[in-house]
């Protein structure tokens, strides 16, 4: 069975590699030469891979998740026109976030902004023996055949990185300074498949930095890292979708779905614990609910509570999180500086 799955994975990888080569040679490379970036061709090839992944993800959202949301929504759109238009405008901003993140625009900006820092850090790690570990080799004595199976190694890396995501997410809801940024993600009052990418850019930078460092330390192969991120992101889109989709008692304890994650976004539930206004919450897992089960932060009820942040409510001060991309980014910085 494992050999068959490995063969399918290798075949899919081969198709992706061919598509990446074609995209780079026919589009990226000529464009890079035209704008004077010929010295960054190796990085451009990597960017072509991320761009291809993003295009595949967006295609899946439009052709699969979008129709499913319209067919079986958890939260139907309101019938009155003003509210419907306001919610539609908020969702369109989430679409902008998705395009910015998934098509590599954020990665390009970060590359030119902090690439020298990355090079220095990775060089320091190599000199001090921190770089170059391989998780699949470490666990080989306990998991026979793992070093011979790309799929087994992929699962091992997925488990570790998903746990890291859980810890990071708990931290986002634990520290006031981090919540000031992460609250933007929770401020969407009408969750859809586009809501996953609704994040403050500084928040994304912190999370991505830790994620990349851990992946580097445990030796995730570059090709597998792209697939790990792609799979995680697509499943996160499903978890945020306005979709009445249940996986059954067992399934909902094996993988995060829309019901489980919607409670994480619920006002007074998902970002509060031990009383009103106290940071904490439930259902922090990104892919695997096992982490919430192990650490006592799971809630598997199907309660359909409104989503958002408590301080958005009129009786709690009606805090403004911004209606556009740049306004939301600026207000996040002001919250971080305790100026609003």
The torsion angles phi and psi of 118, rounded to 5 degrees, stand at -60, -45
340 residues of the chain, pLDDT tens digit each: 555 655 666 666 678 888 889 988 998 889 888 888 888 788 788 888 888 999 999 999 999 999 999 999 998 877 777 778 888 889 999 999 999 999 877 766 665 556 666 667 666 666 666 665 566 666 655 555 555 556 677 888 899 999 999 999 999 999 999 999 999 999 999 999 999 999 999 999 899 888 888 887 887 877 788 888 888 999 999 999 999 988 999 999 999 999 999 999 999 888 887 667 678 889 999 999 999 999 999 999 888 888 999 999 888 888 999 999 999 999 999 999 986 6
pTM of the model: 0.87
> What are the distances in angstroms from CA 108 to CA 2, 44, 48, 101?
37, 10, 11, 10
Helix residue spans in the chain (DSSP H)? 2-23, 29-34, 41-60, 66-71, 81-102, 105-127, 135-138, 150-172, 176-186, 201-217, 222-240, 248-251, 258-264, 290-294, 325-336
Phi and psi, residue 247, nearest 5°: -105, 5
Return the SS3 of 35.
Answer: coil
Query: How many whole angstroms separate alpha carbon 281 and alpha carbon 264?
Result: 7
């Amino acid at each position: 069975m494992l050999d068959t799955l490995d063969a399918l994975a290798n075949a899919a990888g081969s198709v992706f590699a061919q598509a990446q080569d074609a995209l780079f040679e026919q589009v990226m490379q000529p464009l890079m030469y035209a704008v004077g970036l010929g010295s960054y061709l190796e990085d451009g090839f990597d960017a072509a891979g991320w761009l291809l992944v993003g295009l595949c993800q967006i295609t899946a959202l439009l052709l699969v998740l979008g129709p499913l949301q319209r067919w079986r929504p958890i939260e139907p759109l309101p019938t009155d026109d003003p509210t419907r238009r306001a919610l539609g405008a908020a969702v369109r901003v989430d679409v902008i976030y998705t395009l910015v993140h998934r098509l590599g625009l954020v990665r390009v900006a970060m590359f030119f902004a902090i690439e020298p820092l990355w090079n220095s850090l990775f060089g320091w790690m190599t000199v001090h023996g921190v770089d170059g570990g391989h998780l699949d080799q470490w666990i080989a004595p306990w998991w026979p055949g793992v070093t011979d199976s790309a799929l087994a190694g992929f699962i091992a890396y997925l488990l570790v990185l998903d746990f890291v995501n859980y810890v990071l997410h708990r931290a986002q809801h634990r520290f006031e300074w981090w919540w000031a940024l992460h609250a933007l993600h929770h401020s969407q009052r009408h969750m859809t498949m586009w809501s996953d990418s609704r994040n403050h850019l500084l928040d994304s930078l912190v999370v991505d930095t830790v994620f990349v460092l851990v992946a580097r330390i445990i030796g995730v192969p570059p090709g597998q890292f792209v697939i790990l991120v792609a799979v995680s992101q697509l499943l996160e889109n499903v978890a945020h979708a306005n979709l009445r989709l249940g996986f059954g008692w067992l399934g909902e304890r094996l993988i995060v779905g829309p019901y489980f994650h919607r409670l994480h976004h619920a006002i007074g539930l998902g970002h509060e614990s031990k009383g009103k206004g106290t940071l904490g919450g439930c259902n922090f897992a990104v892919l695997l609910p096992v982490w919430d089960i192990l650490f006592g932060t799971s809630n598997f009820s199907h309660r359909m509570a409104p989503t958002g942040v408590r301080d958005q409510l009129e009786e709690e001060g009606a805090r403004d999180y911004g209606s556009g991309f740049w306004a939301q980014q600026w207000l996040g910085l002001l919250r971080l500086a305790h100026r609003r």
